[in-house]
């Protein structure tokens, strides 16, 4: 007999509501052990005598416990509070670099985990940097610019790029004097703000440790111009093989050396352009001409000003991590609502049938 016929519609509704409460709440249910090992990814050997911290990620980041790894790199945290949705982080500080491992599910808590650390290096020969996408949104005569850089660390053996003189360099147009923001996209898509340092000869650098694999850096700034004749020009220290440039509003006139129209971006509704290969140290130079409405740079446009003029909302480069999370939660929400509606419909039918049966048995009296 199927589940649908084993439970009444009203009980099904109550069950689903209770299930939703369990999924979206996180009460402490029990205690569990977390076991794992610290491995040196450069030597592929266990890393003994490393301080391993267990952090909780509730309201802020708090150290719940810490322990030293054994001679074989192993560690065990006992009596860890086990909630419906664990928000735990394991961390090892090695040569001044934080190495983290997220523990976000019961499945991850039930099996041994591996936290990998790496030896440091200052060699940049195996570091590749590209700028795959840039968004320039006109706001009156200004441009709000967001740039995505990918720093790919392919060192062999694997090592973390560490240098106080800079691990990533970038440039901006000379008109940029403030509103410069730099973030590194960290674990689980969390933005980690960085303080850019002016570089001799122009440009900036940050000294964030670039670990093996792909490291994402996002640079955003505002460029002010005296008219709607805008020219976005700055150096690309690393060059780029190809770049996708998104322009808003989509009806602005865009031109430049090697700039070709590539249609429209479906997510941002921006005009899309492809820029051909730019060599190391050469300039990205794009002219963006045309009138544009003023853009609200706040998440809440009503806070910005008391002006009665309509304001466009600033468009931001999408974050794939949060997009996937929203899709998953959205899919569950749709399923949950449809199931509730089905249960209510079945309950109505059941009530109607019962009423009809009673009406047939206790019909109108003569």
In this structure, what are the phi and psi dihedrals at residue 311, rounded to the nearest 5 degrees? -125, 135
Q: Copy the structure tokens of residue 257.
A: 């050396």
What are the CA-CA distances from residue 313 to residues 61, 137, 139, 249, 301 (Å)?
32, 10, 10, 11, 7
Q: How many CB atoms lie within 10 A of CB 1?
A: 5
Which residues contact residue 325 at a Cβ distance below 8 angstroms, ignoring those fewer than 6 apart?
Answer: none
Q: Copy the structure tokens of residue 144.
A: 């709000």
- Cβ atoms of residues 221 and 172 within 8 Å: yes
- Cβ atoms of residues 248 and 313 within 8 Å: no
Residue 109 is predicted with a pLDDT of 78
- Which helix (H) or strand (E) segment is 174 a member of? none
What are the CA-CA distances from residue 284 to residues 257, 273, 287 (Å)?
9, 13, 10
- Cβ atoms of residues 71 and 47 within 8 Å: no
d(Cα 107, Cα 76) in Å, to the nearest integer? 16
Residue 78 is predicted with a pLDDT of 85
Beta bridge partners of 197: 205
* DSSP label of 149: E
Which residues contact residue 88 at a Cβ distance below 8 angstroms, ignoring those fewer than 6 apart?
Answer: 34, 54, 55, 56, 57, 64, 80, 102, 103, 104, 109
| 30-117 against 127-318: fold identical | yes
Half-sphere exposure at residue 99, Cβ-oriented, CA atoms within 13 angstroms:
24
Residue 107 is predicted with a pLDDT of 75
- Could you please state the CATH topology (level 3) that the domain comprising 30-117 is classified under: Immunoglobulin-like (2.60.40)
- Could you please state the CATH topology (level 3) that the domain comprising 127-318 is classified under: Immunoglobulin-like (2.60.40)
Tens-binned pLDDT, residue by residue, of the chain (366 aa): 443 434 455 655 555 555 555 444 444 445 678 999 999 999 999 999 999 999 987 667 788 899 999 999 999 998 666 555 567 899 999 999 999 998 877 777 788 999 999 999 999 999 999 999 999 999 999 999 999 999 999 999 999 999 999 999 999 998 886 789 999 998 878 899 999 999 999 999 999 999 999 999 999 999 999 999 999 999 999 999 889 999 999 999 999 999 999 999 999 999 999 998 899 999 999 999 999 999 886 644 343 444 444 445 556 666 543 344 343 334 444 444 444 445 555 555 555 555 555 444 444 443
Q: How many CB atoms lie within 10 A of CB 105?
A: 10
d(Cα 200, Cα 221) in Å, to the nearest integer? 20
Which residues contact residue 357 at a Cβ distance below 8 angstroms, ignoring those fewer than 6 apart?
Answer: none
- Domain assignments of the chain as residue spans, ordered by start: 30-117, 127-318
- Cβ atoms of residues 244 and 133 within 8 Å: yes
Q: Calculate the CA 123 to chain-centre distance.
A: 28
Q: Calculate the CA 245 to chain-centre distance.
A: 20
Q: Calculate the CA 330 to chain-centre distance.
A: 17
Region at 213 (left for phi over 0; alpha for psi -120 to 50; beta for the rest) = left
């Amino acid at each position: 007999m199927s589940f649908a016929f084993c439970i009444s519609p009203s009980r099904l509704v109550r069950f689903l509501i209770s299930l939703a409460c369990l999924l979206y709440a996180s009460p402490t249910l029990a205690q569990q052990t977390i076991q794992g090992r610290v491995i040196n990814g450069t030597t592929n050997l266990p890393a003994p005598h490393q301080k391993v911290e267990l952090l909780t990620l509730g309201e802020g980041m708090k150290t719940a416990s810490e322990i030293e790894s054994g001679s074989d790199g192993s560690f065990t945290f006992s009596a860890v509070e086990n909630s419906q949705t664990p928000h735990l982080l394991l961390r090892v500080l090695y040569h001044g670099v934080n190495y983290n491992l997220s523990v976000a599910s019961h499945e991850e808590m039930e099996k041994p985990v591996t936290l990998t650390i790496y030896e440091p290096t200052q060699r940049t020969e195996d570091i590749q940097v590209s700028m795959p996408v840039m968004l320039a949104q006109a706001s009156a005569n200004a441009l709000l610019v967001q740039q995505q850089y990918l720093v790919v660390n392919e060192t062999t053996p694997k090592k973390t790029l560490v240098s106080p003189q800079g691990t990533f360099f970038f440039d901006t147009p000379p008109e940029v004097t403030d509103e410069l923001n730099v973030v590194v996209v960290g674990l689980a898509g969390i933005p980690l703000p960085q303080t850019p340092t002016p570089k001799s000869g122009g440009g900036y650098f940050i000294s964030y440790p670039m670990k093996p694999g792909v490291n994402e850096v996002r640079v955003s700034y505002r460029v002010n111009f005296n008219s709607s004749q805008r020219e976005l020009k700055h150096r690309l220290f690393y060059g780029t093989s190809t770049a996708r440039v998104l322009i808003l509003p989509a009806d602005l006139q865009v031109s430049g050396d090697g700039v070709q129209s590539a249609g429209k971006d479906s997510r941002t509704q921006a005009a899309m352009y492809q820029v051909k290969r730019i060599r190391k140290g050469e300039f990205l130079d794009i002219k963006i001409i045309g009138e544009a409405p003023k853009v609200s740079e706040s998440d809440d446009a009503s806070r910005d000003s008391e002006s009665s003029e309509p304001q466009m909302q600033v468009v931001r480069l999408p974050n794939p991590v949060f997009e996937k999370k929203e899709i998953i939660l959205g899919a569950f929400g749709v399923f949950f609502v449809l199931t509730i509606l089905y249960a209510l419909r079945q309950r109505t039918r059941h009530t109607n049938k019962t009423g009809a049966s009673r009406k047939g048995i206790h019909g109108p009296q003569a």
